Amino acid sequence: MDRRATLIGRFLLLSVLGLIVLIPLWYMAAPLFARPPTWLAGKAMEALFPWVKGFDLKAATSILYTSVQVRMRGPSGDVFVEATPSAPYPILGYGVALIWAMLIASRTPRWWLKGLAATAILFVSQAIGICFVWLKNLVVSIGPAAIDYLGVSRFQANAILYGHQFSVLMMTPMLPILLWLLFNKRFVAALWLEAALEGPGEKKASAQHDVAVKEPQA
């Protein structure tokens, strides 16, 4: 039991220390990390929707250019402008720092190779998240004008909102952990082995010891 607790405690401590070091480095390099998922998301949107005119990356924010006309209040009255939804990469990309910190903390064999593979998988997940952030900003944030222009039904709007919540709030933090479990089976097996070593005999001996300690008090 003590060995298992030590193993888990050391892993958690090293993971936290790794995040303290890697998160600032990742944040400074966020514009570079944002390029692959932004390109994937932009190409996917161009292939799926005819109203997409292009995409761009400014600093660490992915921007989608569309022909969707929305009404906005101007200095001389209402005007129609083309919607340009944006998606801030930092809310979707921190899983890269998380998976590298966990792989290093658990001393995974060939951790650098598995880290590169995990990063590539995370880029695809982040691209999906960027697409849903763009769509959510169009349908929900910009409002009825965009919905009317796109001809989106209530069911489709709810599906976009659900996809946004799932990709941003669930997949962004969970996928790095799932990938770590997949790439680090030896560490997980070690935890199970430590648990198995604490057999019924040890538990019985521990219970007898507790009874022996309590008897003099009676």
The answer to whether residue 212 sits within a structural domain is: no
Q: What percent of the chain has pLDDT over 90?
A: 59
The answer to whether residue 57 sits within a structural domain is: yes
Cβ-Cβ contacts under 8 Å for 186 (sequence gap 6 or more): 108, 109
Q: In this predicted structure, which of 25-39, 157-171, 182-196 has the lowest mean pLDDT?
A: 182-196
The answer to whether residue 156 sits within a structural domain is: yes
**Mean of the per-residue pLDDT values of the chain:** 85
Of residues 67 and 34, more confidently modeled: 34
Domain range for 117 is 2-198
Please name the amino acid found at residue 83.
A
The answer to whether residue 205 sits within a structural domain is: no
Mean pLDDT of 3-16: 80
Confidence of residue 218 (pLDDT cuts 50, 70, 90): very low
Number of domains in the chain: 1
Neighbours of 39 (CB within 10 A): 15
Handedness of CA 23, 24, 25, 26 (dihedral sign): positive
Confidence check: pLDDT of 167 > 50: yes
The answer to whether residue 210 sits within a structural domain is: no
Residue 44 and residue 115 in contact, taking contact as beta carbons nearer than 8 Å: no
Cβ-Cβ contacts under 8 Å for 124 (sequence gap 6 or more): 37, 40
The answer to whether residue 211 sits within a structural domain is: no
The answer to whether residue 181 sits within a structural domain is: yes
